[in-house]
Structure 1
Amino acid sequence: MKKKVAVLLGGNSEERKISIASGRAILKSLIRSGINAHPFDTRDFPIMHLKRQKFDIAYIALHGKGGEDGSIQGILEYLNIPYTGSGIMASSIAFDKKKTKLLWKSAGLSVLPDIYIQKEDILKNLDIFLIRKFYKLEYPILVKPNNQGSSIGITLVHSKDQLKNAIKIAFNYSNNILVEKFIKGTEYTVSILGEKILPSIQILTKNNFYDYTAKYKLSSTKYLCPSELDLKQEEKLKKIAKKAWNTIGCNGCGRIDIILDSNNKFWLLEINTIPGMTNRSLLPISANTIGISFDELVLKILNKTIISSS
């Protein structure tokens, strides 16, 4: 029997536009491969309709809240519909930057120092809180929402007088934020497909870091794959990525962002359990380097779900 696949896209998160682009690319690819696939925008259609419309599998192309945080995964499990990507627990942890870093640190992996702030901590008097908490802070620092993707809401802060505004911006996107040590280094990303660690990509941007503009708007951003690391460093990077992936308990496919500092040390930055699948996305670039076309990649992700659910 031919399986009916729902490509979940859109949603209500800040990453809606990116999700639609990913979802459409996946949908077109599945149709090219002869799959009975249909788009399903979770903003406009109740997810419970999936069962009524007799969908067999959900291909998740939702980015951000409602897609990567375990909530949609929980509903799909309740509906008994297999889905692509990581499960409820791994998705939920991976979407929480602080919890992810705590687990990585407990596993002996290197993460950048940070200060974790909850909105309730500073509602009464932000100025007094800042004086108490940040009097020894070394600039520059990154202020980022704890639960957000695509570098949305992140500000690079160079001095104390910029901090207050950066914190307010981050709190627009999350009730918890991270104030993290910033290091200027070489950024890499490592994609994972099932048990396979794909070749790393070096990210070259003219911006201070790989922010939203560099990701989605600047044509000057370059991606090197192979990444120009020597064999020993590439293997070390892959080993770190695999341990980071397994520590969170992820499966399916995903991406891990890492930075190499001036002392030749790798630092884990973030994990992405539902990577972008657009023409600028990094997972397809990495897969293509070892001869996996976009259509093959989309099918491999789908087939892993079919096999695991059978």
Structure 2
Amino acid sequence: MTKKIRVGLLFGGKSGEHDVSLQTAQAVINALDHSKYEIQPFYITKEGQWKAGQTLHGPINEIKQLTGNEEPPSLDNESRQGIHFLFNDFSSKEVAVSDEAGQSDKTLDVVFPLLHGTFGEDGTVQGLLEMANIPYVGGGVLASAVGMDKVMMKKLFAQAGLPQCVYRYFKKSQWLKDQAYFLMEIEVAVGYPCFVKPANLGSSVGVSKASNREELLQAIDEAFRYDLKVIVEEYVNAREIEVSVLGNDDPQASVPGEVVSSNEFYDYRAKYIDGKSALIIPAEVSEETAKQLRDMAITAFQAIEGSGLARVDFFVGKDDGKILVNEINTMPGFTPFSMYPLLWKESGKSYQELLDDLITLAFERHQERNHIQYTFDIS
């Protein structure tokens, strides 16, 4: 009998996107081929504590099977056991985990970090896994960090020649020091209406639309609840088109899809709660526009040195058809409402095949990096 691949799933996390991550984890667990994989879940609480669960050999009915008691645990030795246990064993590729029988001779073959937002999608967990020399799904440290920081992302997009909307950004310390200057900058360069966002967060958490100065000030205060850097972008009268990217050095792009939000803009509720937003797949665009979108998605992916997967979001002007790249997501959601897997389904790749490919890409990237020599002998 062929040995199953042991997949470590990281989910939850100390992030504003904690609940989104739980939805993604349940969807991935139920979609993986359990005849090929056995799953070792690692739940990270909102307080940042790690809990290793029992090995899974089949689908689950609800996420509570993984999270258990949601009451915040006390900071004693027992509650820290998960992360302490992982750090002890991350010094080698072999991460021992206990199954239901209490055995601990099994090891993780690959890790799937299903973490959205800070402390997960931003390069922090990726750095931990790099140091532990464990294969993992998705972008590396650089791509993850840049993909999370909308300001640095936009700077790299500009370097790659990708067209973007007008924006301004500032840190909290700068804002507190000179609000008048930044208000002038926004009103002159960006104008109203505009969108205010935390620079390092996703799933539209903390995002607001401002149509006047009073709303702008409220929106900036809201965004600073979630980050120390805020970005303000111009409003563009455009359709929201998304393209999924899959691969490492030779990435492929899916057909484009369009999001028609149930709310004024595609906010958190429209994405994950009401389920009323329409996803038009494939998007109703010309073949020429579709090709431009796919080409630009790959350019954006390569601009941040992406690997594994990403979803690239665009604006396509309703009046002039002009294409602007909005942002890239290095760990897009896999919820029932998520665009990423649906775009690949339309492109001819099932959800299960997609997950197989992502795990294969993780092994390929890890093997390639293991050929790098990190020491230098001058003798």
| Aligned with residue 278 of structure 1, among 311, 331, 335 | 335
Take 1:123 and 1:216, find their aligned partners in 2: how far apart are those partners? 33
Identity %: 32
Q: 1:160 to 1:239 in 2, by over 3 A?
A: same
Match of 1:80 in 2: 133
Equivalent pair of 1:27/1:38 in contact (CA under 8 Å): no
User: Is residue 204 from structure 1 mapped to residue 256 from structure 2 by the alignment?
Assistant: no
* Cα displacement (A) at 1:60: 1.4
Match of 1:93 in 2: 146
* Cα displacement (A) at 1:31: 4.9
* Cα displacement (A) at 1:179: 1.0
What are the residue-to-residue correspondences of 1:1-310 with 2, within 5 Å?
1-43=3-45, 44=50, 45-46=82-83, 47-48=86-87, 51-53=95-97, 54-124=107-177, 126=179, 128-136=180-188, 137-194=190-247, 195-261=251-317, 262-310=319-367
Structure 1 counterpart SS, 2:312: strand
Of 132-141 and 223-232, deviating more is 132-141
* Cα displacement (A) at 1:235: 0.5
Q: 1:258 to 1:33 in 2, by over 3 A?
A: farther
Q: 1:206 to 1:23 in 2, by over 3 A?
A: closer
- AA of the residue aligned to 1:142: F
- TM-score (normalised: structure 2): 0.78
RCO greater where, 1 or 2, for CA within 8 Å and sep 6 or more?
1
Moved beyond 6 Å, runs of 4+: none
Take 2:183 and 2:201, find their aligned partners in 1: how far apart are those partners? 26
* Cα displacement (A) at 1:169: 0.2
- TM-score (normalised: structure 1): 0.94
Map Cα deviations across residues 22-80 of structure 1 (whole Å, 9 max, x no partner).
Answer: 11221222253430212111332314256243322101111111111000000001111
Map Cα deviations across residues 235-258 of structure 1 (whole Å, 9 max, x no partner).
Answer: 011111111111111010110000
Equivalent pair of 2:186/2:232 in contact (CA under 8 Å): no
Q: 1:84 to 1:31 in 2, by over 3 A?
A: same
Of 77-86 and 27-36, deviating more is 27-36
CA RMSD of aligned residues (A): 1.7
Equivalent pair of 1:65/1:148 in contact (CA under 8 Å): yes
Match of 2:70 in 1: none
- AA of the residue aligned to 2:301: W
Mark the runs of 5 or more structure 2 residues left unpaired by the alignment: 51-81, 98-106, 368-379
Structure 2 counterpart SS, 1:123: helix
Take 1:9 and 1:135, find their aligned partners in 2: how far apart are those partners? 40
Map Cα deviations across residues 89-118 of structure 1 (whole Å, 9 max, x no partner).
Answer: 111111110111011112111111111111
* Cα displacement (A) at 1:295: 1.3
- AA of the residue aligned to 1:256: V
* Cα displacement (A) at 1:129: 4.3
* Cα displacement (A) at 1:309: 2.8
Map Cα deviations across residues 172-208 of structure 1 (whole Å, 9 max, x no partner).
Answer: 0110000111112100000011121111111112423
Aligned length: 309
- AA of the residue aligned to 1:306: F
